[in-house]
Chain A
Amino acid sequence: DAGITQSPRHKVTETGTPVTLRCHQTENHRYMYWYRQDPGHGLRLIHYSYGVKDTDKGEVSDGYSVSRSKTEDFLLTLESATSSQTSVYFCAINPTSGRARDTQYFGPGTRLTVL
């Protein structure tokens, strides 16, 4: 698991409530990513970070925000959860240069259900 933990691992919440998911890494890697996994879509990139306080949007960023105030933690926030955000969320790290030939390593995932 490349030293990546995600919390919580499971969460059930109600529509309209804020939710924050945490990704924690132990190796001080620069590049971190948040994905969501939905049936029929594979994984899709939500946001990513290329350093402390340096973040950018992925392909499905609407309704999500992120923060990275220290190297080891990358937080994903749903400001007002909707049922369409029910999904499994994966955090990933890239331990090298963030470029094409590098491998991303994935955390164990967080299963979020929005009722």
Chain B
Amino acid sequence: AQSVTQLDSHVSVSEGTPVLLRCNYSSSYSPSLFWYVQHPNKGLQLLLKYTSAATLVKGINGFEAEFKKSETSFHLTKPSAHMSDAAEYFCVVSVISRNTDKLIFGTGTRLQVFP
């Protein structure tokens, strides 16, 4: 069965330092993977997605993620954190299904950014 595991429920960084949010996936076929961000009391916004093209995926707001099949990982990184990056981040895998492919969400990682 397809699933994702977000390895950290909370990550704290100082402004200007690198961000690493870790995600491992399980899939019996080549997956489509996504990172979504949710700011407090807001809906979800797509950061980036991997759909079997380039393994290094660039997203919005300076984020990127690297698909590593050998490690079954899809970690999200940013070279320099900004205060506005404080939010909850979800790693998501898409599951092939009968009428529409479905999204399976990780449990989320809350990113805190300190000045």
Contacts and interface: CB of A to CB of B under 8 A. Distances in A.
A31 B44 CA distance: 17
A106 B43 contact: yes
B102 A58 contact: yes
Interface residues of B, number: 26
Contacts, number: 62
Interface string A40-67: 1111110010100010101000000000
B51 A100 contact: yes
A108 interface: yes
A94 interface: yes
B28 interface: no
Interface string A1-17: 10000000000000000
Given A42-B107, A101-B51, 17 more contacts: A1-B43, A31-B100, A45-B103, A50-B99, A90-B44, A98-B99, A98-B100, A98-B101, A99-B96, A100-B51, A100-B101, A101-B32, A101-B49, A101-B52, A103-B49, A106-B45, A108-B42
In order of increasing CB-CB distance, the 4 nearest A-B pairs are A42-B105, A98-B100, A101-B51, A100-B32
Interface of B: 31-32, 34, 36, 42-46, 49, 51-52, 90, 94-96, 98-103, 105-108
6 contacts: A90-B43, A98-B99, A101-B32, A101-B52, A107-B43, A109-B43
